[in-house]
Amino acid sequence: MSTRYKRTNWVRRLEDFSAGCSSGLKLGQCLIAGILAIFSGISRLLPVTRWLSVTLSPDVPVSATGASSLKSPASFWRGVVFVALIAGSILPAISFAVSIQGTKFNDLTGDGEQNNYLDDNGNCVLEPGLPDETIYIEDLTKSETFPVETGTDGNFYFESNEEFFTLWIQPPPSNWEQTIPVRRTFNYDGNKVYFGITDTTTPSASTCTQGPQLKSTPEVTLETQKIAFENEAVSFDGDFSDADVDDTHSFLWEFSDDGSTANTKDATHTFTQPGEYTATFVVTDSNNEVGQSTITVKVFPKSTTTLDGLPISEYNSVSVSEYFYYSPTGQKITFKRVADYLFVMSKPDKLVSLFSDNIISTENNPLGIGNVYKFSDNSQNAITQFSQNTNVEYVSPLLTTGNGDVLVITNQIVLKRPATIKDSDFIQTVLNVGGLEHVRKLRLSEDEHIFKVTSAQGAEVFTKSQELHDQMGSQLKWAEPDFLVQIETHHIPDDLLYSDQWHLPKIEAPAAWDIATGGGVIIAINDSGVDLSHPDLDIWENPIEKYGEPEVDDDNNGYTDDIKGWDFSDNDNDPSPANSNDNHGTAVAGVAAAIGNNTIGVSGSARNAKILPIKIFSNGIATTCTRLGESLRYEAKYAHVANHSWGVENGGKYCPTQVESAIDDAVTGNISGGAMRGILVYL
């Protein structure tokens, strides 16, 4: 039996020291030499410089042989122990451990190495490891013996924090007295002491260099799940390992959505439909050993709301008992909090500095306005600290209804008074509840008001809405928080000349034009803005403001200089798109009322109607429920028909009371200052 272990510069320094002490140096000289050896060894912890051969017999412990500077083993190890005691007092921060691992194998070539040999069939194969063999490791510190079994490949492993060990291939005799302990390496450098134990088979084969060194099955490792989006290419990395590093492999990817395959280690695939699919990676080596693994792929619609690249539905949402308000019928409308995220809205032209390294900005803000932060400490602490910042307008938990949506509660609340109570009395009654400030009456509304919670914590709006509901009773028709919500646009073809506008004959527009072409009709386009200079659109104009005083609300409708409509997202009189790529509203206007018989572009369904531009969103930027309500009342005051080719995310369940109230006012003409007439509203 033979064994090998690595000999480091550290060991060589100790050997030199022990040789000096055994040759007659005085104790003081040994001490100095030992300290120098320790520090020199520490500074020169280098890779293996030479091998020291050790021989094992069946029933005696390890003994030292072979080329080495180890002249007197017993003296050497007495020196090692002595220096170790010194090092223990000088260098207490250094920890030691012994790690023994190796392979017991059939040494057919007789060279003490596990390598390739020529078998009887002329194949070059690896010398076989011996499974289910027992290696006995004796702990000399505790006088205990640990049997270690070899695995299927003859490998064994042992690790301990004790100091001296002996290896045996049979149970040690009871009369053993002395042995050479196994030398140790430091834990931190990752080195191990390796033993290659061979059996006593008579050498009978020749070494060879061709062929595989190890026959093994490839191990495939894939992540358990991948998130993807429809019609976007997804990359798949074929991670695998094989103990036979020289083996060759073939690869196969199988995709369950369409049955397609790929024969490369790494692959890309595009899923065309939302759903849950699988991708299986198969690795086959030259011995026809097969390894495989399957990954689940969740494919979402391209329009899915994401946060840091993941759909909102993939995040943990937490139910909070206080996050609700009452509908006009007394029903609780509840919300959940997206764990580990919060929203901060700064005051105009103000910057908000982060107060902790535990709070970081997100890669993408699904709301397109304000800032969304991720935090790793207590959320309430973060909300409290943000709310105390004078540059912060409000801070809110990131909310969801649990259906993959996301919204934010602002620091405002909308209240509707009964018709029997005057505005002034109603405002005072609300203020008496405490913690609220009156902002203003909703523009063009007869009976709705906006109040602001004095606390910058948006979630306080839930509490206040509940208090108002409980305390005001019949003096309040309803109270609803003002949410910041996302808008989902409905699809409009990019090219208005598609197939020569086949839809017009389909709806029998030419026959209808014999009766009317839309002359005298005003169509409100409530959308992302309309190109006011488009040559194929007839833009409505407000005559009172057009010929009135600049920067004066001449018609007292609450909108100054609204000559060609209003931008509710930026609260100004320019309802143009944010940029040339934001053409959804202009496209909708073209379908509705592009001018006909003018040899330009296309013709709309109502080709002689005028367009009233109303902008409520742009470039995916969220808007508030109050803006939606006010835009509905504005279009009802001036238009005959209103089109809304969009929807509030999740079916408008965030602020249904405000939206429905505004629609009721628009349809019935219940508009402050009067309306043209009840309006047709298309949603």
Separation between Cα atoms, residue 247 and residue 124, nearest integer Å? 13
Lowest-confidence range among 20-24, 115-119, 553-557?
A: 20-24
Residue 172: pLDDT over 90 = no
Mean pLDDT, residues 635-654 taken together:
77
What is the model's pLDDT at position 520? Answer: 80
Task: Of 497, 490, 466, 494, give the one whose Cα is nearest residue 479.
Answer: 466
- pLDDT greater at residue 63 or residue 494: 494
Dihedral angle sign, alpha carbons of residues 455, 456, 461, 463 = negative
Q: pLDDT averaged over the chain?
A: 75
User: What amino acid occupies position 462?
Assistant: F
What is the model's pLDDT at position 351? Answer: 83
- What's the token pair of residue 520? 């005298």
Q: How confident is the model at residue 185 (pLDDT cuts 50, 70, 90)?
A: very low
For the beta carbon of residue 330, count every other beta carbon within 10 angstroms.
Answer: 8
Residue 69: pLDDT over 50 = no
Task: Of 397, 382, 395, 408, give the one whose Cα is nearest residue 456.
Answer: 395
Q: How confident is the model at residue 129 (pLDDT cuts 50, 70, 90)?
A: confident
What is the model's pLDDT at position 571? Answer: 92
Interval 271-321: pLDDT, tens: 999 999 999 999 999 888 899 999 999 999 988 888 888 898 888 888 888
Counting Cα atoms < 13 Å in the Cβ hemisphere of 155 gives: 4
Residue 357: pLDDT over 70 = no
Separation between Cα atoms, residue 465 and residue 452, nearest integer Å? 11
CATH 2.60.40.10 holds for 219-300:
yes
H or E stretch at 489? strand 487-489
Residue 113: pLDDT over 80 = no
What CA–CA distances, in Å, run from 335 to 323, 338, 403, 649? 6, 10, 11, 14
| Bridge partners for 581 per DSSP | none
- What's the token pair of residue 453? 């919670």
Antiparallel, parallel or unpaired: β 275-285 and 249-255: antiparallel
Query: Would you say 284 and 239 are in contact if contact means Cβ atoms under 8 Å apart?
Result: no
- pLDDT greater at residue 66 or residue 27: 27
Interval 28-55: pLDDT, tens: 444 444 554 444 444 333 332 222 223 3
Residue 76: pLDDT over 50 = no
Residue 407: pLDDT over 80 = yes
Number of helical (H) and strand (E) elements in the chain, helices listed first: 12, 40
- pLDDT greater at residue 591 or residue 340: 340
What is the model's pLDDT at position 613? Answer: 94
- pLDDT greater at residue 381 or residue 451: 451
Mean pLDDT, residues 211-240 taken together:
85
- What's the token pair of residue 440? 């203003």
Of the ranges 11-15, 534-538, 547-551, 614-618, the best mean pLDDT one? 547-551
Lowest-confidence range among 154-163, 323-332, 631-640?
A: 154-163
- pLDDT greater at residue 126 or residue 631: 631
What is the model's pLDDT at position 78? Answer: 46
Mean pLDDT, residues 160-170 taken together:
63
Q: How confident is the model at residue 501 (pLDDT cuts 50, 70, 90)?
A: low
- pLDDT greater at residue 1 or residue 555: 555
The three state secondary structure string of 497-528 is: CHHHCCHHHHCCHHHHHCCCCCCCCEEEEEEC
- pLDDT greater at residue 241 or residue 562: 562
Query: Would you say 123 and 211 are in contact if contact means Cβ atoms under 8 Å apart?
Result: yes
Mean pLDDT, residues 76-90 taken together:
43
- pLDDT greater at residue 477 or residue 98: 477
What DSSP state is assigned to residue 390?
T
What is the model's pLDDT at position 269? Answer: 97
What is the model's pLDDT at position 318? Answer: 87
Q: How confident is the model at residue 254 (pLDDT cuts 50, 70, 90)?
A: very high
Q: How confident is the model at residue 210 (pLDDT cuts 50, 70, 90)?
A: low
Of the ranges 29-43, 241-255, 427-441, the best mean pLDDT one? 427-441
User: What amino acid occupies position 470?
Assistant: D
Of the ranges 127-131, 165-169, 259-263, the best mean pLDDT one? 259-263
Residue 259: pLDDT over 70 = yes
Give the start-end residues of each E strand in 129-231: 134-139, 144-149, 155-160, 165-168, 185-186, 193-198, 219-220, 225-229
Residue 340: pLDDT over 60 = yes
- pLDDT greater at residue 277 or residue 608: 277
Q: How confident is the model at residue 57 (pLDDT cuts 50, 70, 90)?
A: very low
What is the model's pLDDT at position 489? Answer: 74
What is the model's pLDDT at position 202? Answer: 54
Residue 619: pLDDT over 90 = no
Residue 656: pLDDT over 90 = no
What is the model's pLDDT at position 186? Answer: 30
Residue 284, phi then psi, degrees to nearest 5: -120, 130
Helices 27-43 & 9-22 angle (0-180, nearest 10): 170
CATH topology classification for 488-682: Rossmann fold (3.40.50)
- pLDDT greater at residue 47 or residue 465: 465
- Domain segments of the chain: what residues? 2-198, 219-300, 316-485, 488-682
Separation between Cα atoms, residue 376 and residue 356, nearest integer Å? 10
Residue 372, phi then psi, degrees to nearest 5: -110, 130
Long-range own/partner contacts, residues 355-358 (CB < 8 A, 24 or more apart): 355/385, 355/389, 356/382, 356/385
- What's the token pair of residue 562? 């609204």
- pLDDT greater at residue 340 or residue 429: 429
Percent of the chain with pLDDT over 90: 33
What is the model's pLDDT at position 600? Answer: 57
- pLDDT greater at residue 469 or residue 162: 469
Percent of the chain with pLDDT over 70: 67
**188-190-191-195 Cα dihedral, nearest 10 degrees:** 130
Interval 417-428: pLDDT, tens: 999 999 999 999
What DSSP state is assigned to residue 189?
T
